[in-house]
Amino acid sequence: MNEVIILDHPLIQHKLTMIRDKNTQVKEFRELVDELSNLMAYEVTREIELKEIEIETPIRKAKSKVVSGKNIAIIAILRAGLGMVDGILKLIPPAKVGHIGIYRNPETLKPVEYYAKVPSDIKNRKIIIVDPMLATGGTAVACVDYLKKNGSMDIKFMCLIAAPEGINYLQKYHPDIKIYTAAVDERLNSHGYIVPGLGDAGDRLFGTK
Ligand code: URA
């Protein structure tokens, strides 16, 4: 069963409210998504391993901890996932970044992957998939399918808002994936938008509407 981790830190909740507000304009929206991703990355990376090294402080030699492997990959689901990448990279600059584009075929309603470029050593990396909205879960499942087919074993999913429908769908096909979100909303509407949500994350990030 998927573990769903709701990041309820007051700063995260405050910024989430600001991006939900329809009066928040594109520049501020983009900055807030960047800040939210940065704050959330702190929690998503809580389990990365440390190793002890020896350093010298101005006072004496000391053993101290550093992150042991720099083997993280951020996988952005196009296009809205792009808005979450820089916020994470500010915390983990050596992380590699992959991009996956998936759309839903209007006739078959099946997800179709139209673009995928991921780090060549993807199977050895700890993966954080980013997409602001976990709505139906179709894209998330297709993205995890792709990564697992390419050998990935350690995958986390990070979004800003999740719908119960998306959580259930991801759970059905990939119960091993931990979901990190700032909120679980009520439901999807008949157009597949999360209610109350924040509208179309891609349009709000890039000003396309
Ligand atoms: N994608 C979005 O951008 N918003 C939603 O509410 C659902 C999917």
Query: Is 181 one of the annotated active-site residues of the chain?
Result: no
Query: Beta strands of 26-125 (E only): which ranges?
Result: 50-56, 61-67, 72-78, 96-104, 111-117
Tokens of 114: 């139209």
Q: Name residue 99's beta-bridge partners.
A: 76, 117
Q: Is 104 designated active site?
A: yes
Residues in a beta bridge with 130: 76, 158
Q: What is the pLDDT of residue 107?
A: 79
Which is the closest atom of ligand 1 to the Cα of 204? 3
Rounded Cα distance between 92 and 116, Å, is: 22
Full-model pTM: 0.95
Nearest-atom index, ligand 1, CA of 192: 7
Alpha carbon of 61 to ligand 1 centroid (Å)? 52
pLDDT score at 105:
80
User: How far is residue 135's CA from residue 33's CA, in Å, rounded to a whole number?
Assistant: 17
- The pLDDT of residue 1 is 67
Q: Which residues of the chain have pLDDT under 50?
A: none
C-alpha 125 – ligand 1 centre gap (Å) = 28
Query: Which structure tokens are listed for 132?
Result: 């602001």
CA of 55 to the centre of ligand 1 (A): 47
Contact 33, 84 (CB under 8 A): yes
Domains in the chain, start-ordered, CATH in brackets?
4-203 (3.40.50.2020)
Place of tokens 């500010």: 90
